[in-house]
Amino acid sequence: MTFAVEPREKGEGFELLVTPSDGSGVRSYRIEGPEPEAFAAFYDALHADFGTRRPHHVEGAIEDYPEPPWKPLITGNLNERILSGYGDPAVLKADDGWWLVATSNDAPDAFPILHSRDLETWDPKGFVFEEGGTPGWTAAGFKVGDFWAPEIARVGEEYWLSYTARAADRTLSIGLARAPHPAGPWTDNGAPLLTGSVIDSHVHVDAEGEPWLLWKKDSNSLWPRPLAGLLRERPELITRLFDSEQDRRTAAFCAAVQPFANSRRPMERFFLMQPLIRAALDSWRKVKSALEASGVAAEIVENMSTPIYAQRLGSDGRSLEGERHLLLANDLDWEGHLIEGPYLTRQDGRYFMFYAGNDFTSSSYGIGYAVAETISGPWRKAAEPLLKSHPNWSAPGHASVSVGTKGEPRLFFHAYHPGTGGYNVFRALLTVGLSFDGDEAKLVP
- What confidence score (pLDDT) does residue 35 get? 87
- What confidence score (pLDDT) does residue 56 get? 63
DSSP 34: S
- What confidence score (pLDDT) does residue 143 get? 82
- What confidence score (pLDDT) does residue 57 get? 55
Q: pLDDT for 406-437, tens place per residue?
A: 999 999 999 999 989 989 999 999 999 999 99
> Domain map of the chain by residue range?
3-60+223-302, 71-220+304-444
Q: Which residues of 211-237 are buried (b: 16+ CB within 10 A; e: fewer)?
A: bbbbbbbbbbbbbbbebbbbbbeeeeb
Looking from the CA of 181 toward its CB, the CA atoms found within 13 Å total 9
| Rg of the chain, C-alpha, whole Å | 22
Length of the chain, in residues: 445
Are 134 and 171 in contact by the 8 Å Cβ rule? The answer is no
- What confidence score (pLDDT) does residue 60 get? 72
- Local confidence pLDDT in tens for the 445 residues of the chain: 999 999 998 777 899 999 999 999 999 999 998 888 899 999 999 999 999 998 765 567 899 999 999 999 999 999 999 999 999 999 999 999 999 999 999 999 999 999 999 999 999 999 999 999 999 999 998 888 999 999 999 999 999 999 999 999 999 999 999 999 999 999 999 999 999 999 999 999 998 999 999 999 999 999 999 999 999 999 999 999 999 999 999 999 999 999 999 999 999 999 999 999 999 999 999 999 999 999 999 999 999 999 999 999 999 999 999 999 999 999 999 999 999 999 999 999 999 999 999 999 899 999 999 999 999 999 999 999 999 999 999 999 999 999 999 999 999 999 999 989 989 999 999 999 999 999 999 999 9
Q: What torsion, rounded to 10 degrees, do the Cα atoms 352, 358, 361, 365 define?
A: -50
User: For residue 305, is it left (φ>0), alpha (ψ between -120 and 50) or beta?
Assistant: beta
Architecture of domain 71-220+304-444: 5 Propeller (2.115)
What are the φ and ψ backbone dihedral angles of 430, each rounded to 5 degrees? -130, 165
Are 266 and 169 in contact by the 8 Å Cβ rule? The answer is no
- What confidence score (pLDDT) does residue 144 get? 87
**Residues facing residue 129 across a β-bridge:** 110
